[in-house]
Structure 1
């Protein structure tokens, strides 16, 4: 594969993400953010769907003034402490601005205590400070104070909205686009708007990765990260439902969801769901539930809890 890439004309040659990141002198996380922001133009590989970057694009970026520092500055992120220092405000005020939805996170990670640490683009913070100097000092507006006192926290919602916008810009195909709002809906809401189990399985298979979090599947960090990726605000849920409805109309007009005659591939289903149609619909399968447990218990040859039944003779000899 590498030899084929080298043999192509310069205008057609391209590199995978790891090689492109090295050529641009970026860390992998910086490269992924640069692609999302549109700083690096990429295209999906026809076979795997993974992003690739042409040699021409890499040459354009390397020839730009200030490379690589200028490119790194465009994808530089900071947490609350460094962000507050950059804006010359206290961390408490910075957090209030973020919770009120005025500062939008670009990403997050979970620290060793399973606490969410939000990250922000330094360019966003500089621009906000220049455009809103009155919000950096003095008493906060009444509307902002009332929202904070009511316990409002817009950081997760704003991050989801921003990230979905990035993904939509990079996604082609009706079903793949519909999978983006579908991935942010609670399971019961998704089942209401997409009653067809095969369509739900297809959407789940195409779901995008919203965040990269270390930890095995089912671990506390994975569960916490998964919860942040699901909408919990009623207004947000309504907006996602409306968006998904429009995307589904477009997707269905392009093609129907795959409907194999057998079982749905396990990789296309949410964790804990059976690969059968009954599992998709949430129905108990034969042998499961209370009646199945009683039937298995009755049919067990050893009797209750698997202990051998004692006959009259054995009881008398004990």
Structure 2
């Protein structure tokens, strides 16, 4: 048996036999806590390596060339159906849990009557200097921020521009003055520099926060952080386990790693998992930090998930695969594995389901 998974069996046994998450959390902090050395955070896998410079540099150079001179239109030439979300479904008197995909990694979710957003971005570009440059959205948002229902909290997985959008957060806060913003360690400083310093809650891996009956737990993923060339990995990254009457998981950005099995053993089964399926080409560069659809399916199985919600595709041009390839590859693999296709949800932009 792989030695990496021996502690997982122990941890799962502790959770089942003792039923004491506090004691388990202390062990998790020791065995699988965040790693920070000389001001930089690291992934749990000691063999983790980013893609080769020989692959990354030509990729970045091509993207800069396209931004300045154009190109890549065939890659982005996809026709997507966009639905207008019925936000009245999110009124408090409607007791059913529901989730709406607003594009990329942004979901509007209601659990036990509480509304929250994941990695909200409503801007036309994802990039620095107030989104003046960067990856351009090729599918518009299906709803304006002003049309959203009351938002109780927001979860941010990491500080990359396509997941932490300052302009969007400021608009959400203006409309929801008491909204809480959950962020990884090191991100509060960025928000404070932008004038966002109220109701911001920083979380380390395995930290939890009680919010009106929901338990919000920040958990490890395999990724990286940075908003400029001089702040690489100075803030943490991660996903969220949210537990109420049902269990919800949001991964943010991540490569496939043993942590999904860990989370499935401790918190699973999950009623819903939101997992990224896009931005995986070129694989030599992307695979350590972005899952392809096959890996996302395995992560879902590791998490003991029921409903799979595909995300991180079909919105921003971030990689070399065609914009409509990820869902096609996902469904093909689901059929090959003889899994229940109805449980693997590829949303139309703005589509809502109950769960």
> Would you say same fold, with TM above 0.5?
no
The normalised TM-score by structure 1 is 0.21
Q: Flag the structure with larger Rg.
A: 1
Greater helix share, 1 or 2? 1
Greater strand share, 1 or 2? 2
